[in-house]
Structure 1
Amino acid sequence: MRRNDLAAQVARHRLHARLNGAVAGLPEQPPAPTYVVDLDPFDSNAADLARRAAGKPVRVATKSLRVPALVSRAMAAPGFSGLLAYSLREALWLCEQGISDDVVMGYPSVDLPALARLTASEPALAGVTLMVDDVRQLDLVDSVRASGAPVRVAVDVDAGLRLGPAHVGPRRSPLFDTADVVALAEEIGRRDGFRMVGVMTYEGQVAGVPDEVPRHRLRSAAVRSLKSRSVAQLEDRRAGIASALHEVVELEFWNAGGSGSVETSVADPAVTEVTAGSGLLVPGLFDHYRSFSPLPAAYFGLRVVRRPSATVATVAGGGLVASGPTGTDRSPSPGRRPGCT
């Protein structure tokens, strides 16, 4: 047996014993699936994300953590500031519970009751920033508005890579060209009751795609090439949009990136903050990135219901599947950790 293989087996055995010990310390047998977070690697990953952000604040993506105690723990780490929420009801709850007074929505909301609650609450209006990419989303807010107090909004700009007619990356927003972004900013400025405070450009094709996959050298090289072209194109686009917006509005923040693209995101002068969440727990997806090597911090415990052979076990349940295109790189890995992002 090679030395590296032996070291890996020893480390795995120690982890197995540590996790079993943690679960055994509970007052009664926990239900399955059991989700376990190792706080030492969690804290180490938080410190590494802050280091990679090179002095720019890291905003915590609550979609990737889902546990209030973990959200608060990340928020308390040096270099972290503010939350990126999954839904408006969640954002309102985070404010009401005092977890944060700086919550940006990751997506537009069409939840009319939640929008009405937002506009009726002074603390929520001060602490929550809506995400918009269409004037009709402003109309929805006006349709349920409970007061004339200004609603904070940020504009989501598509951060995909354009190669001729092809689009590489998530299609998050109808806004791509500078003129369209400025037109929406101007409309926000003309409307009573709205204040544009930020911009988001999430480059999922850089942050969410492994680029150093074993046995896939050619594909990995192609992914790295696309990432490089995407970063260069997006930096040019951000600069153009930022220059044009400077004539229209004074922004508080420009949010970008994810756990897999922290270095390239913060290197862009237009970007003032990055978002990270899955990089705290570290799914198996992050095993195969060239730019960073985080520590696994999240695990699933499942009950074995049968053993067809000495080397095969059948378990009840599964793990979490990562967001994005379905594939083995985003699925739970037996014996290791979940594939969630």
Structure 2
Amino acid sequence: MTAARPSSTETARARLDRATAELDPPLAVVDLDALDANAADLVTRAGGRPIRVASKSVRSRPVLRRVLARPGFAGVLAYSLAEALWLTGGEDPVTADAVVGYPSVDRGALRRLLADDEAAARVTLMVDSPDHLDTVDAVAPPGRRPPVRICLDVDASLRAAGGRVHVGVRRSPVHDPADAAALARLVAARPGFRLVGLMSYEAQIAGVPDAPPGRRARGLAVRGVQAVSARELARRRATVVAAVGAVAPLEFVNGGGTGSLERTAGDPSVTELAAGSGLYCPTLFDGYRAFAARPAALFALPVTRVPAPGTVTVAGGGWIASGPPGADRLPRPTYPARLRLLGTESAGEVQTPLRGPDAARLRVGDRVWFRHAKAGELAEHVDVLHTLAGDVRTGAVPTYRGEGRAFG
């Protein structure tokens, strides 16, 4: 009688366990083979448009360097000014081109930016209001600082029924071409500022799965709304870019995200794309028709209790993603495959009980491998990401946290 062949999940679990056998969990790993394959897929999907790496979805300088060294990637979309200054500063900067993806009122970081000509040339601030310009001037008036590079954040959400229906995130108050042109004229007229870019991030397309597993009706509805939104945005973004471009020549127009690269790449008004989550492939990015990325980042927790038959408890586990509370924000037990969280306790701060057919095979000291719901947030829980290539652990790279950095 021939022995049953191990399943793909059993093989994957055994590979991870062997490669990290000498380490004590909790620990996190990045599979470099999967990371590189995901990066190559992003470049293919971008169709020749350069991809600006969303650093919040990575949160490790060595990983950012690895990705930026690949053809097809250029620059960083940072999530705070302090982070952008760190990534562009020092003797060996990660990048010489960082756009801060959100407006900043961090006066300390602004002081550092405005006191350094080189930093001011490398970092672009995001604005959607004259208040953001006033904040800069309050820190250092125009005659006492280098020119500040400015990018306009234009709202990409779908608005209908006279604004009563809003599909997408609530970012910028700048929505229409007239709004954008008015703000562009204001920036251009203000001493000490230079308008260089425009961004419009379509979260309702890039960040919402269009084929959620087991939810066919929702997938159909999402695809319908996304198609309507994409058509509306393509028309509006073209007119916005034309209106702003008539005020000042733009170095870049940024758009898109992991979930919408090929669609946004088809918009001729966009000059560059942004992506980051598709490098690690967290669980929130499992339900897309356009791509099937390989999970590249996982974390392991140790089994510390067997409180009842068919149930095990691991240490910690409350690595819950930001966003609207729900089951999709919870870490997912992945290896062994047939485990589930308990609704009465879920993922806990100090312990997480798990139940399922594979629980009977686990003993105290074994490890359970999880995937996080979001990409970079995993790095906030560990100091290093252990790197794997093939079946071998090749080393470890520090996270932001491991380098003593936290950017909120």
Query: What TM-score do the two structures reach when normalised by structure 1?
Result: 0.93
In structure 2, the CA distance between the partners of 1:310 and 1:78, relative to structure 1 (3 Å rule), is: farther
Distance in 2 between residues matched to 1:309 and 1:277, nearest whole Å: 41
Distance in 1 between residues matched to 2:168 and 2:64, nearest whole Å: 27
Deviations 1:177-209 (A, max 9, x none): 111111111011001110011111111111111
Contact 1:33 1:303 in 2 (8 A): yes
* Other-structure match for 1:58: 51
SS in structure 1 at match of 2:53: strand
Q: Note if 1:18 corresponds to 2:15.
A: yes
* Other-structure match for 1:161: 158
Pairing partner for 1:47 from 34, 40, 45: 40
Deviations 1:153-189 (A, max 9, x none): 1010111011212000100111111111111110110
The structure with the greater share of residues assigned to helix is 1
Deviations 1:265-319 (A, max 9, x none): 1111111111111100001112211111110101011122212345322122226
Deviations 1:35-73 (A, max 9, x none): 111110000000000000000001111101111111111
Q: Which amino acid aligns with 1:176?
A: H
SS in structure 2 at match of 1:334: strand
Is the radius of gyration larger for structure 1 or structure 2? Answer: 2
* Other-structure match for 2:338: none
> Cα distance, 1:261 vs. partner?
0.8
The structure with the greater share of residues assigned to strand is 2
Distance in 2 between residues matched to 1:150 and 1:117, nearest whole Å: 14
Q: Note if 1:80 corresponds to 2:73.
A: yes
Distance in 1 between residues matched to 2:280 and 2:293, nearest whole Å: 9
* Other-structure match for 1:324: 323
* Other-structure match for 1:113: 108
* Other-structure match for 1:306: 305
Distance in 2 between residues matched to 1:40 and 1:113, nearest whole Å: 39
* Other-structure match for 1:139: 134
Contact 1:205 1:227 in 2 (8 A): yes
Distance in 2 between residues matched to 1:205 and 1:321, nearest whole Å: 22
Name which of structure 1's ranges 178-187 and 138-147 shifts more when overlaid on structure 2: 138-147
> Cα distance, 1:22 vs. partner?
2.4
* Other-structure match for 2:195: 196
Q: Which amino acid aligns with 1:24?
A: A
> Cα distance, 1:320 vs. partner?
4.0
* Other-structure match for 1:340: 374
Contact 1:161 1:167 in 2 (8 A): yes
Distance in 2 between residues matched to 1:19 and 1:57, nearest whole Å: 33
| Pairwise CA RMSD | 1.6
Identity of aligned residues (%): 51
Q: Which amino acid aligns with 1:92?
A: L
In structure 2, the CA distance between the partners of 1:321 and 1:268, relative to structure 1 (3 Å rule), is: farther
Q: Which amino acid aligns with 1:124?
A: A
Superposition pairs of residues 213-232 of structure 1, within 5 angstroms:
213-232=212-231
Q: Note if 1:184 corresponds to 2:183.
A: yes
Deviations 1:48-100 (A, max 9, x none): 00000000001111101111111111111220000011111110011113110
Q: Which amino acid aligns with 1:11?
A: S
* Other-structure match for 2:394: none
Q: Note if 1:252 corresponds to 2:254.
A: no
* Other-structure match for 2:382: none
Q: Which amino acid aligns with 1:201?
A: S
* Other-structure match for 2:26: 33
Q: Which amino acid aligns with 2:209?
A: P
SS in structure 1 at match of 2:268: coil
Greater relative CO (CA pairs within 8 A, separation 6+): 2
SS in structure 2 at match of 1:72: helix
SS in structure 1 at match of 2:219: helix
